[in-house]
Amino acid sequence: MVNGLIGRKKGTTQIFAPDGKRIQVTVIEAGPCRVIQVKTPKNDGYEAIQLGFAQKKRPLKREKQHAAKANVAAPAVLREFYPTG
């Protein structure tokens, strides 16, 4: 199984535990993360999933073409996630 998430830091805030303690937390905007490509050992020599996050304002031609294969706009952030375990 592959686990992955891409996000953007929005800020920090605080939450309160049931015992009343204040806990500092980071707020992250996570998603939507779109699957751009599924890598397989047969085709690529390894197993992974490419996820894209946000939309790039001025993508290069090759970035547009790569994203077009998945019928999505070119992502601003593109990362590969590998199987765990």
Amino acid 85: pLDDT: 67
Instruction: Look up the pTM and report it.
Output: 0.73
- Residue 52: CB atoms within 10 Å: 25
Structure tokens at 11: 């800020």
Instruction: Write the pLDDT tens digit of every residue in 7-64.
Output: 999 999 999 999 999 999 999 998 788 899 999 999 999 999 999 999 999 999 999 9
The domain ranges of the chain are 7-81
Measure CA 55 to chain center: 12
Amino acid 5: pLDDT: 80
Q: Where are the alpha helices (H) located in 1-85, listed in sequence order? A: 41-44, 61-68
Q: Give the pLDDT band of residue 4 (cuts 50, 70, 90).
A: confident
Class of domain 7-81: alpha beta
